[in-house]
């Protein structure tokens, strides 16, 4: 229908021939309705081994205490907080895709939002485990909550960023969960109506009795829009507050006013890199190349380039302000990142985050899948080192030179970190087995307007600006799921 068609110069968001509503359902539900393949089992085995390592290392920490980690009097925060901030940051991309891109009406979010939101939830779970395990006495984890108690009541200090963080992270997690699950309801109903026996019963309970009537859809869309509206400032507030854990202290290298925007940009940067890492593999293994297309990959790479460059500007600003402030300690801290004993961590941070991302200026690199995948991992390594540099390198040489120390991680530190990766991937692999990894209803919504076949229909219909048609065809060249030869005939 003419009313639906969008301009020919926009790249298609769904490629492939003869895509019908039924085919979308079949394609996306294939991993859910069938036994998983060998790739899934190999991944799941490795991931669950990692998760077991995590259980072991965290139990060890609970039993013997924080002393089992490599912390010392000078470096009292190290891998735990590094891991915490890293995971929370990774979570941010999911909310950006599901909320901010919804507000901006970016239709390409429709095929990646579901798995990105799932990734958010699993990443925040990983982050939360660090918070609990670094408490030392995790059975008292409820102490930061404002509960009446027998000490007075003595209340929590609402002036403290650490208490704000408790509120921010718990709100972020629960709101993301509500957003994700509400969005899942229609798709769970699809599985339910196709399933039989016990699977049908389970999905029946999970889908809350969804029918897809007009009023339900209308309310559903209102709920999603408002959730997107409130999640947008929420996600910005979360990493702002995480950064205030550092920025409100008096530690050189930490107490800078640039931290909130700098952390938020870094969070989105690392989150998109993780989405890219996961989706490039997922689309291949699950055969979803028609729904997660080269356009999606390139768009995400552009966001990585943008946020990576913002992070680069923030780094430069930090150095300039350290120099310009004239503060001796501030200047030393920043110089120490390059000439101190942790120079290699600084090089990893600046090299991976700023230099490597600049490669994304080239379209050849943005549309090259293996290189994009490697770069996305490089970004995640770089972002881990960023947090390590900010935390450990700032702490390890404090105001009194006699207490200068190095941080050496123990096997427990390393196992908790590697294990948290295991937990994350285990959860993600389970997710793609039991839930549709792409929001089917939302992809169906754009089938008539933004699919390749709709564009072909436009071309066949004719009457288009020839220059725009050429532009469109040229844009399709890097797509791995499009047969360019078809366009010769049109």
Return residues touching other proteins (CB under 8 A): 1, 4, 20-22, 25, 146, 152-159, 161, 163-164, 167-168, 171, 174-175, 178-179, 182, 185-186, 189-190, 192-194, 204-223, 226-227, 230-231, 233-234, 237, 241, 440-442, 444-445, 448
Nearer to other proteins, 96 or 311 (CB): 96
Calculate the alpha carbon distances from 489 to 7, 11, 57, 456, 475 in Å. 21, 19, 61, 11, 18
Least distance between other proteins and beta carbon 166 (Å) = 9
Nearer to other proteins, 13 or 305 (CB): 13
CB 413 within 8 A of CB 94: no
Q: Is the peptide bond before 153 cis (omega within 30 degrees of 0)?
A: yes
DSSP run (H or E) holding 52: helix 38-64
What does the block give as tokens for 181? Answer: 């699950």
Choose between 25 and 437: whose C-beta lies nearer to other proteins. 25
Shortest reach from residue 227's CB to other proteins, in Å: 6
Residue 373: burial class (beta carbons within 10 Å; 0-12, 13-18, 19+): middle
In this structure, are residues 433 and 74 in contact, taking their beta carbons and an 8 Å threshold? no
> CB of residue 241 vs other proteins: minimum separation in angstroms?
6
CB of 436 to other proteins, least distance (A): 12
In the complex with other proteins, the residue whose CB is nearer, 153 or 460, is 153
Kindly tell me which of 196 and 402 has the beta carbon lying closer to other proteins: 196
Helix (H, G, I), strand (E, B) or coil at 76: coil
Pick the closer one to other proteins by CB: 84 or 350: 84
Output 189 or 273, the one with its CB closest to other proteins: 189
On whether the CB atoms of residues 184 and 139 are closer than 8 A, the answer is no
Provide the minimum distance between the beta carbon of 95 and other proteins in the complex, in angstroms, as a whole number.
12
- Smallest distance, other proteins to C-beta of residue 300, A: 24
What is the sign of the dihedral through the CA atoms of 214, 215, 218 and 220?
negative
3-state secondary structure string, 359-381? HHHCHHHHCCHHHHHHHHHHHHH
Instruction: Work out how close the CB of 193 gets to other proteins at its nearest, in angstroms, rounded to a whole number.
Output: 4
Closest CA to 270 of 91, 129, 111, 429: 91
Q: How far apart are CA 132 and CA 141, in angstroms?
A: 7
Closest CB to other proteins among residues 125, 365: 125
Structure tokens at 297: 């990959």
Measured from the CB of residue 202, what is the shortest distance to other proteins in angstroms?
A: 11
């Amino acid at each position: 229908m003419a009313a639906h068609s969008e301009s020919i110069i926009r790249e298609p968001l769904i490629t492939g021939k003869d895509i019908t509503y039924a085919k979308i359902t079949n394609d996306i539900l294939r991993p859910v309705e069938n036994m998983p393949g060998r790739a899934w089992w190999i991944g799941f085995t490795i991931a669950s081994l990692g998760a077991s390592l995590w259980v072991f290392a965290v139990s060890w920490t609970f039993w013997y205490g924080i002393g089992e980690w490599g912390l010392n009097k000078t470096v009292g925060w190290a891998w735990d907080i590094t891991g915490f901030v890293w995971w929370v940051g990774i979570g941010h991309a999911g909310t950006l895709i599901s909320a901010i891109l919804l507000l901006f009406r970016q239709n390409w979010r429709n095929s990646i939002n579901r798995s990105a939101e799932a990734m958010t939830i699993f990443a925040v779970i990983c982050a939360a485990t660090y918070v609990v395990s670094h408490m030392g006495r995790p059975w008292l984890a409820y102490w930061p909550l404002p509960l009446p108690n027998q000490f007075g009541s003595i209340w929590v200090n609402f002036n403290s960023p650490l208490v704000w963080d408790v509120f921010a992270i718990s709100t972020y997690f629960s709101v993301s969960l509500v957003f994700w699950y509400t969005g899942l309801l229609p798709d769970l109903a699809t599985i339910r109506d196709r399933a039989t026996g016990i699977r049908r019963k389970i999905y029946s309970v999970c889908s809350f009795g969804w029918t897809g009537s007009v009023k339900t859809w209308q309310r559903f869309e209102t709920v999603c829009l408002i959730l997107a509206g409130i999640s947008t400032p929420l996600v910005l507030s979360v990493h702002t507050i995480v950064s205030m854990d550092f920025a409100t202290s008096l530690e050189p290298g930490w107490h800078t006013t640039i931290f909130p925007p700098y952390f938020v940009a870094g969070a989105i940067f690392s989150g998109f890199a993780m989405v890219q890492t996961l989706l490039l593999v997922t689309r291949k293994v699950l055969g979803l190349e028609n729904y997660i297309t080269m356009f999606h990959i390139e768009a995400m790479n552009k966001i990585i380039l943008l946020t990576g460059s913002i992070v680069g500007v923030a780094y430069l600003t930090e150095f300039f302000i350290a120099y310009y402030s004239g503060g001796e300690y501030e200047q030393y801290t920043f110089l120490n990142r390059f000439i101190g004993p942790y120079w290699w961590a600084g090089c990893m941070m600046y090299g991976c985050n700023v230099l490597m991302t600049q490669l994304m200026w080239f379209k050849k690199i943005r549309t090259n899948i293996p290189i994009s995948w490697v770069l996305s991992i490089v970004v995640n390594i770089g972002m881990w080192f960023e947090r390590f540099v900010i935390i450990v390198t700032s702490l390890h040489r404090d105001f009194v030179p006699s207490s200068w120390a190095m941080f050496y991680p123990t096997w427990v530190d390393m196992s908790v970190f590697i294990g948290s990766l295991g937990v994350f991937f285990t959860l993600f692999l389970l997710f793609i087995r039991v839930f549709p990894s792409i929001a089917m209803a939302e992809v169906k919504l754009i089938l008539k307007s933004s699919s390749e076949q709709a564009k072909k229909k436009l071309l066949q219909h004719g009457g288009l600006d020839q220059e725009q048609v050429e532009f469109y065809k040229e844009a399709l060249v890097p797509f791995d799921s499009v047969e360019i030869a078809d366009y010769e005939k049109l």
